[in-house]
Amino acid sequence: MSQFTSHQNSRRSFLQTGAKAIALPFLASMLPVSTRLMAEKTLTANAPKRLLWMAMGHGHMEDHFYPKATGAFSDIALPPGFDPLKKNLAHMTMVSNFTNKQNKQPHEGSEAVLTCADVVGFSGKARHNSISCDQVAAAHLGQGTRYKSMQLNCPKSDTGNGHGGVAMSYGEDGSPLTGYSSPPEVFYKLFGGNLSKDELHRTLLQRRSIFDIMDLEGSSAKRLLSKDDNEKLDEYTTSIRELELALIREEKWMDVPYPKAQGSAPKEEEYLFSGSHGDKSMRSMFKMIVTAYQTDATRVITYRMPDAGLLKSLGMSSSPHTLSHYGSNTTLHELNLQRTKKWMEMYSEFIDLLRSSKDPLDPNGGTIYDNSLVYCGGGLRTAHRTLNVPCLLTGGGFKGLKHGQHRIAPKENTPLANLWTTMLQDAGAPVDRFADADATASSILA
């Protein structure tokens, strides 16, 4: 039985009494003493860096999204899709001319956006991936946190997003890390779901026994399988090992108390909703992201956002795929503009949340915004093009980056991996180059 469906009443009560805390200013005293001590060991004069990659599926219609000139936003004409962002233009940067050069799967933008790999071009394999940049960051930044990284996903029922595959995060061996698709799941991981230590221990033992059985059966099966089938089994068992490593990590953290959720209870339908997976779901996930950083549960997060669900919450029947093939259809043009404005509205709200959320681990009294490097974009431009993909940056963690500008890489089709290399280096990860990067992006951002 899933540990999220067991103990239903206690978890529901816990979520009801604690979820409101994500909307309140977070207090350092809410962190367990052991967690605060571990976090303080990593602090010098500044708070730890947090990295976030957020991806949509299909991109935006060019006339609505891409400014024709470069420079300060205050000095150039902006496309109509930027209207909802006006109050936060000084806190973000747009970069043009980044291309995911290795991606040969243009129907599925998020599958390769963080790996910069050709997922259909691996020798001897029909489909495979490589490690994603967030996992490179997690190996460096995730040593002292409960979760090395967290992967947030759109619900499985929310199809037609243009994401592709099952994840945007991939382990060292190229196996997908699918993560959590609902805010209640994330809240449970952050605050423990109101389970006692004994209940947690029993759950971990049960999961451990399942892994042992799978390993035994897998080893026995290898003697009976063909070479090709053994290769497929190896891919499967490798992905299972990723889960097992996460389990081992949970076992090590059993004696570290979860942070306390404080605050009055929200209305249940505002949190445990079952209808729209659009803007309401995104707002809840945004709060989960900030809470994860404030509690230092993790410092690396990815979020595959629900593009199709966002359209449904706008009352649109068209899919993101249909809108990406807009051609000369003026009706589709108007729907695209509504879609882009909604995305920019949500992005602006998230910037507001980052800037208003205190960072309990910042000795200088800063905010989560001040200590974050945040990418928002995707692997597709529109109509399945991987050239000049959407790229919006926010957060104060980028070294030497002054926000409030549209910047452009002077070299056409600059590898997107250049940006990932720069983000990793700015966060302190010991990386010279990531994937197909041929330089860093620091010259563009400086």
Helix (H, G, I), strand (E, B) or coil at 61: coil
Our CA dihedral for 402, 405, 410, 416, rounded to 10 degrees, sits at 80
pLDDT bracket for residue 383 (50, 70, 90): confident
Nearest to 52 by CA among 309, 332, 396: 396
Q: Are 70 and 406 in contact (CB under 8 A)?
A: yes
Lowest mean pLDDT across 103-117, 166-180, 271-285, 372-386: 271-285
Q: What is the rounded average pLDDT for all residues in the chain?
A: 80
The highest-confidence range among 101-110, 111-120, 277-286, by mean pLDDT, is 111-120
Could you tell me which residues come within 8 angstroms of residue 348 by beta carbon, excluding any fewer than 6 positions away? 84, 85, 87, 88
pLDDT for 272 beyond 70? no
Q: Are 437 and 415 in contact (CB under 8 A)?
A: yes
Q: Are 182 and 173 in contact (CB under 8 A)?
A: no
pLDDT bracket for residue 98 (50, 70, 90): very high
pLDDT bracket for residue 6 (50, 70, 90): very low
Amino acid sitting at position 411: K
pLDDT at position 335, please?
A: 97
What are 157-195's pLDDT values in tens digits? 667 777 888 899 999 989 899 888 888 788 878 887 655
pLDDT at position 19, please?
A: 40
Can you tell me the mean pLDDT for 141-152?
A: 94
pLDDT at position 145, please?
A: 94
- Token representation of residue 327: 């051609």
DSSP labels, 93-115: EEEE-EE-TT---TT-SSSSTTT
Can you tell me the mean pLDDT for 251-265?
A: 63
What are 46-61's pLDDT values in tens digits? 799 999 999 998 899 9
Report H helices in 275-415. 279-294, 307-313, 320-324, 330-356
CATH class of residue range 50-190+267-445: alpha beta
Could you tell me which residues come within 8 angstroms of residue 100 by beta carbon, excluding any fewer than 6 positions away? 109, 112, 113, 116, 379, 386, 389, 415, 416
Lowest mean pLDDT across 216-220, 245-249, 373-377: 216-220
Can you tell me the mean pLDDT for 2-7?
A: 36
